[in-house]
Structure 1
Amino acid sequence: MCLVKRFTVALVMVALLTGCGSPEQPSAPSDHPPPGVSVSLAQWRSDEPAHALEVAVRNTSDTPVYFADLQLVTASFKTLPPQKADSVIKRTERTDLRIPFGPAVCTPQRLPDLRPATVVARVRTGSEPLRTVVFPVAHPDPLLAKLLRDECSEFLVRQAVDIAFGQDWTESGGAMRGSLVLTRRAPGTVTLEEMGGTTHYMVEPEHAGRPLAVMDASVPTMRVPIALTPARCDAHAFAEAKKAFLFPVRAAIDGGQVRVVTVVPPEPLQGRLIQYALRACGLGR
């Protein structure tokens, strides 16, 4: 009887000692955003050529929040590594933090549906350590929907044909004259409906009428003559030429839906076009 009693007491002591030696582990930090802090997405004209967007942070609290870095996370675009922010956001209706975003995830047959998105950030509020939080983005976000539609429309066209500026350009009759070059990648009739101008250049096809060109399924390559002239001549325009060379081209494959492809001249040609426009506008350097 005494042996049983001693054994029971020993078990109780072991249990007590074990409990004292294993304090309850603290719960993991919450991934919820700090109170009063939310985000939305926006894009300035200067962001478009850089494939970037703005995370517009709103802080309605009186507590400053430090953002170490952040990234866009969605199945609709490739996730890039976090972008350093190193910013303290005080009470504000909107403070923009610029981040790059990855290429759209497109499908070969049709435009994909937009998937939900979040902004994942490492933040610190007050004296707390850095923690990772997840900001929800309202779904469907109109900016992401537009970006996905535009990039995947271009993807669908470029599966069938490459559209690029030709190499040979000359200044003649007050215009820069050259061509778009269409190079086949897959079967199908390519219809080039039209080519739009930009903030700085107007496009004049050498042959009037629409469509601009039809590339029969048996044709491997085609040149489409065009002429470019200045769309504006104020000096400020050339200092702020953020979208000067993003030319929209509307094209369709096998009579399907007309989609927009953005065609950008190579950098050497961009330099020549700027010099030409400055001369044509009487702003020559």
Structure 2
Amino acid sequence: MPPDGRLSAHAWVGRAPAGAAAVVLAAVAAVAACTPGATGPAAPTSGGSSATGAPASPGPLPRSVTEGLTVEIAQARSDRVARVVELRVHNGSAADLTVLEGRLTSATTSGPAVTEEPREVGAGRTRALRAALAAPVCPRGGVTTAVDPAPVVELDVVDADGRRATVRVAPTEETDDLRRVHGEDCAAAAVAAGLELGLEETLTTRDDGTAEVVLRVRPVPGGPHVRLVQVGGTTLLRPASGYGPWVLDVDSAAPPPDGRVVLPVAPARCDLHAIAEDKRGTVLPVHAAVDGVALPPVFVAAPPALRGALHDFVLDACGSADDARS
């Protein structure tokens, strides 16, 4: 017997009758199960949780939802210089969705165009998601607009219950924007290989209500033969001599000695709506031929200083500057 006169549970069991020993062992097991750190069977879980306690997966989106998604590709006029397109997602299902990311792939670009941020698309609604196009893929030594873009859009979507899916869609294109963008991209690359183009920041105004915009040209050594044939008018600007394009004959093999092509300009229109909401009025379409092949127009955008000067010029020349600024 221990010095304090008490028996341990096991010692007492050894002296007790068999029935009493069984009761004591059951009590010891119960105490051990309640002791911190003790191991034993996990308590049962409820509420749809797994055996580890993690919430059960909400599962995938049903086909009745995913099959209701359609996409149209379009491009706003203000996005043409930045080469940004819109994925206009229509949710024809009865479930509100969030498009986490959209990816547009095309044979005309070097990689996918990825949407900028998630957008909610409610049931029966259409939302536009903007995506910048990757670098163009142009044919070696030339330009063609006959390439089939063959676009495909993938949408990562989720509903309010956390159900997710990646939906692959063949988009529609009412205005064939991808083919047009590809033609313009490759034309710009072909021209730039033989002749660098840019607009001077300074605008020279005249007393007769016209002004002079200067197109800078610089041949690229070893590049293809480039010939500029005309510059088109815009919603804000036209040639000072009348309506129509500026007719040119600028050859990369014999460029202007000072590298300057002067374009006399006048306002194309004076309504304040066109001036206040101008998007492309200071982007000049330059038509060229490379190695004798006529190309789609190459767009040369005015730098910020010239853009502001042109807006002021149009307002002043139209005699409505004070009204438009108020």
Q: TM-score, normalised by structure 2?
A: 0.69
2:206 is the alignment partner of 1:174 = no
Tell me the distance in 2 between the aligned counterparts of 1:263 and 1:98: 23
Partner of 1:84: 117
SS of structure 1 residue aligned to 2:99: strand
SS of structure 2 residue aligned to 1:237: helix
CA-based RMSD: 3.2
Shift of 1:86: 2.6
The 8 Å contact of residues 68 and 92 in structure 2, kept in 1 or not, is answered as: yes
Gaps of 5+ in 2: 1-56
Gaps of 5+ in 1: 1-25
Partner of 1:275: 312
Tell me the distance in 1 between the aligned counterparts of 2:303 and 2:122: 39
Cα-to-partner distance string for 1:150-177 (whole Å, 9 max, x where unaligned): 2112211111111211354310131111
The 8 Å contact of residues 195 and 252 in structure 2, kept in 1 or not, is answered as: no
Tell me the distance in 2 between the aligned counterparts of 1:240 and 1:176: 22
Tell me the distance in 2 between the aligned counterparts of 1:56 and 1:62: 18
The count of aligned residue pairs is: 257
**Quick one: which of 101, 104, 116 aligns to 2:133?**
101
SS of structure 2 residue aligned to 1:84: coil
Partner of 1:228: 265
Q: 1:43 to 1:139 in 2, by over 3 A?
A: closer
Partner of 2:228: 192
SS of structure 2 residue aligned to 1:83: coil
SS of structure 2 residue aligned to 1:198: coil
Partner of 2:301: 264
Would you tell me which structure has more strand in proportion to its own residues?
A: 1
Kindly report which structure 2 residues correspond to 1:40-59, keeping only aligned pairs within 5 A, or say none. Answer: 40-59=72-91
Partner of 1:114: 148
- Amino acid in the other structure paired with 1:110: G
Tell me the distance in 2 between the aligned counterparts of 1:190 and 1:214: 8
Tell me the distance in 2 between the aligned counterparts of 1:88 and 1:255: 49
The 8 Å contact of residues 104 and 112 in structure 2, kept in 1 or not, is answered as: yes
Tell me the distance in 1 between the aligned counterparts of 2:309 and 2:286: 21
Tell me the distance in 2 between the aligned counterparts of 1:86 and 1:46: 21
Kindly report which structure 2 residues correspond to 1:216-255, keeping only aligned pairs within 5 A, or say none. Answer: 217=253, 219=255, 222-255=259-292
Q: TM-score, normalised by structure 1?
A: 0.78
Partner of 1:72: 104
The 8 Å contact of residues 205 and 225 in structure 1, kept in 2 or not, is answered as: no
Partner of 1:22: none
